[in-house]
Structure 1
């Protein structure tokens, strides 16, 4: 296959998905590995800085005399809103200018805010630094995906997106393990300052390793406003169903991660350490397998030329919906953990497929914008409302004297997983129709 075309968002012309032979700006040789390793480090440190307050919440609470509500505000809805909404203008900036420059500024910004959080003496100051962290991290994935689109040859792009995304589970493991250990030995302030310093070094690495990213020639829609351009993209059937799927996966993943640990502790008598070890290690392993294997499979799906680029993750979500339901009512703790594994795998496996498909539909030069819109779908409503919905159902079931009330609340996870699968299958058909019409 030398060239595959997909419909652009204006619906008037096809945008080529270039082959390996086109585009002299693509890196080769050792620069491919250096670029991907650098982006992996960006994703990893981003996740570390984001989740550090989770593992250090009790120490921060005691030191600053915070309430549980204030701790929740540091890591909850405000962070999600700031992170997802700012990803859109930052994605636009990455598409229209230099994504390397946007990424370096974002890393320096969130790293500085992370370090400043280590010297905060009040809730207000710490909250402001967390908003700063969210603002900087909002540009990491859109700018990183724009760099991948301009530097990595199309036949390797899905794998590149998967390797970039692999930093999320690795960062979570590093953040929980190293963050907790450093906080115990040296204090939470040292952990935040140290993480900020490491982020600064990663920014320098990005500047040195990732070469100049030429500004792409803009299409006729350049003069179109950002909001109008985004609305036109979401209005296309293929991207609209992809966006709906992103919303659904947010409602599946957020409650899954928020309540899986408490479920194992409350229902099966795990200690916090046992639940964290079992869930954390398995999630990390599934994250690595899912992002790498998913990325490679996506590349092969694109190269097939059929346009069917969302079927495998959709089917995995259907399987996960069944196993997760069984896990919630399994009588044995270890069996419940095993049955949760397909759910862990499905969330990681979807990442390269969803982002890669979004890039295909949006077209060349709009990759960062497409990424930011998908992030809004998955990162805003689900994380903000999903855990709340599960909590309300669990409380209502417990008040009605229904045993295992949390399991009934967590049934929202398999329901949302089925919704994700159906939306992705519909998007799969729509994208295939675009390929067929080229």
Structure 2
């Protein structure tokens, strides 16, 4: 059996594709990795009120912890992690990253103030920066090309399911046993899942690269020089400003504005997000494939419509008096954010061309995961604190802060329209186009 030692690796010794039960075990374990990565990421959202009360934090500080402290580290490290996975053993990267974010999640349960809580979130982001690139690399090396799409779909479904588990089960555990217990439990289970995934993956040794391969910076500059790709990065930035503040404060809004308990908010928001997220991800994937096959010039037309509806409904949800109607009006946004995932990455892959999909994904992750997540929750927190102070402690001050979400949805619609025009004037290469890839060596293709 091949080892993970780079000195023994050649294309001919690359690990074979998995089939049957081994493939199912790998995909199941990677799905769980995706679930717990999302759980550990969003737990502070549903636990925010309890954390804020015990540690005496402001909404601005909560916005920093859930936004800047996580997003800056996560986004900035995604490209180096992707490069490490491409040129090293993604199994070892996944194991190290999973253990890192799980331990730091558990340590967050021991936080005594803002500084220690923020430090733990930096640690979680450090580990989770490698979750997607390492998992995608393992799938590429261990799952055959004809089943790779469904494999990536199964992995991505862990995002909405993880959100549902985090909000629902996390909120219940937090209310019953305290927010500290919820963080510690999530960390322990995440570590076990990471070890299981590393075992299921089997050997994923480094693949030798030709000396003429494009460098890290050459690949990045080449992609950023494409106008259509730059337009897609603007779309990703707008999505980050819409989605992250929504997830960071929606449950807290239900608690403050409509008197939900932590468990009620977690179940109502988490269950809705989990179901609509899973449906949206699968529906988005099928719709994207259908749009590609039909050769539509306006590839992003469907998500444009979804975000337009989401923005209008979210704006209304912030000011309705009925709690059930409020939750119902939040659902289009939950669907739209998930529906957009296959379109965002799929369009970026098509514009980038064969052999640059991984780098395209990493740049898109940075665009969506840095600016919006870093500044969005902070802006919401500042606006909320300002509105509450201006209205003598009004409970619904958070509604004014959350208007950032529908505004960002509107910006996403505009950005998608511009990106559609750019892609139409410069037709992208499909991953199914004939001809040899320009940045992938033949040995890499043979190794899977």
SS of residue matched to 1:415: helix
The counterpart of 2:413, out of the listed 407, 410, 421, is 421
Distance 1:406 1:175, change over 3 A: closer
Q: Which residue of 1 aligns with 2:428?
A: 434
> Which stretch shifts more, 86-95 or 379-388?
379-388
How far apart are 1:72 and its partner, in Å? Answer: 5.4
Task: Say whether 1:44 aligns with 2:13.
Answer: no
- Counting only pairs closer than 5 Å after superposition, residues 402-417 of structure 1 correspond to structure 2 as 407=399, 409-417=401-409
Distance 1:213 1:83, change over 3 A: same
Q: Which residue of 1 aligns with 2:228?
A: 238
Whether contact under 8 Å (1:25, 1:151) holds in the other structure is yes
- Counting only pairs closer than 5 Å after superposition, residues 20-419 of structure 1 correspond to structure 2 as 27-56=18-47, 67-68=57-58, 73-118=64-109, 126-152=117-143, 157-183=148-174, 188-213=179-204, 215=206, 218=209, 222-224=213-215, 226-264=216-254, 273-304=263-294, 309-330=299-320, 332-391=322-381, 407=399, 409-419=401-411
SS of residue matched to 1:222: coil
Unaligned runs of 5+ in 2: 1-13, 435-448
Whether contact under 8 Å (2:64, 2:378) holds in the other structure is no
How far apart are 1:137 and its partner, in Å? Answer: 0.6
How far apart are 1:233 and its partner, in Å? Answer: 1.5
> Which stretch shifts more, 256-265 or 46-55?
256-265
| TM-score between both structures, scaled by the size of structure 1 | 0.79
Whether contact under 8 Å (1:85, 1:376) holds in the other structure is yes
The 2-side partners of 1:197 and 1:267 are apart by: 34
When the two chains are superposed, the root-mean-square deviation of aligned CA atoms in Å is: 3.7
> Which stretch shifts more, 86-95 or 174-183?
174-183
How far apart are 1:138 and its partner, in Å? Answer: 0.8
The 2-side partners of 1:233 and 1:246 are apart by: 15
Whether contact under 8 Å (1:157, 1:299) holds in the other structure is no
> Which stretch shifts more, 300-309 or 204-213?
300-309
The 1-side partners of 2:294 and 2:23 are apart by: 23
The 1-side partners of 2:404 and 2:89 are apart by: 41
How far apart are 1:394 and its partner, in Å? Answer: 5.6
The 1-side partners of 2:200 and 2:341 are apart by: 25
How far apart are 1:351 and its partner, in Å? Answer: 1.4
SS of residue matched to 1:142: helix
Whether contact under 8 Å (1:147, 1:213) holds in the other structure is yes
Distance 1:276 1:48, change over 3 A: closer
| TM-score between both structures, scaled by the size of structure 2 | 0.77
Whether contact under 8 Å (1:44, 1:168) holds in the other structure is yes
The 2-side partners of 1:347 and 1:25 are apart by: 35
Unaligned runs of 5+ in 1: 1-22
The 1-side partners of 2:89 and 2:356 are apart by: 13
Whether contact under 8 Å (1:161, 1:356) holds in the other structure is no
Q: How many matched pairs?
A: 414
